[in-house]
Amino acid sequence: MLEEAAMVAWGVWQARNAVVWNQNTSTAATIVLSARRALDQYQFAQSTKDGSLLLFRDNNKAIEHWTTPVNVNGAIFEQFGRYGVGYTTRDHDGKVLAAFNKSFEGRVQSEMAKIIGIKEALSWIDSFS
């Protein structure tokens, strides 16, 4: 209950900012629904259970849990002395907007390959600003 109250307070704060900065208004019901949905998605993401990424609400209409818009990964090719990185970006409907991969010479641990992948993805995102 405390978590839900905190999320609603956060929603009210966001709605207030939307009015002040963008002149966008929201109803109380919309704010509460958005807060509950965000809390539900957060709790689902924190859970260790496997399960569907879909919730069924509102007359069996499927509501998808939030997924990351950019996925990054690294791969090690030990036998070739190389490692690779890649990322995929998706829009709000989950459609792929861009995908990228790059191979490097050298030997690194898998964690470092992923960190380099994150750096490459951030550099790509920064190129649009």
* Residue range 3-21: mean pLDDT, rounded: 86
The greatest distance separating any two alpha carbons of the chain, rounded to the nearest whole angstrom, comes to 59
pLDDT at 49 (0 to 100): 56
pLDDT at 11 (0 to 100): 85
Q: Which residues in 1-129 belong to E strands, given as ranges?
A: 54-57, 61-64, 70-77, 82-90, 96-105
Position 94 pLDDT exceeds 60: yes
Query: What sign results for the dihedral spanned by CA atoms 23, 29, 66, 115?
Result: positive
* Residue range 97-126: mean pLDDT, rounded: 90
Question: Which residue ranges make up each domain of the chain?
Answer: 1-50, 70-127
Position 65 pLDDT exceeds 70: no
Q: Are strands 82-90 and 96-105 parallel, antiparallel or unpaired?
A: antiparallel
At 107, the pLDDT band (50, 70, 90 cuts) reads very high
Question: Between 61 and 100, whose confidence is greater?
Answer: 100
Assign 85 to helix, strand or coil.
strand
Assign 16 to helix, strand or coil.
helix
Phi–psi pair at 91, nearest 5 degrees: -90, -175
The token duo for 53 is 């990424």
CA 126 from centroid of its chain's CA atoms: 17
pLDDT at 97 (0 to 100): 86
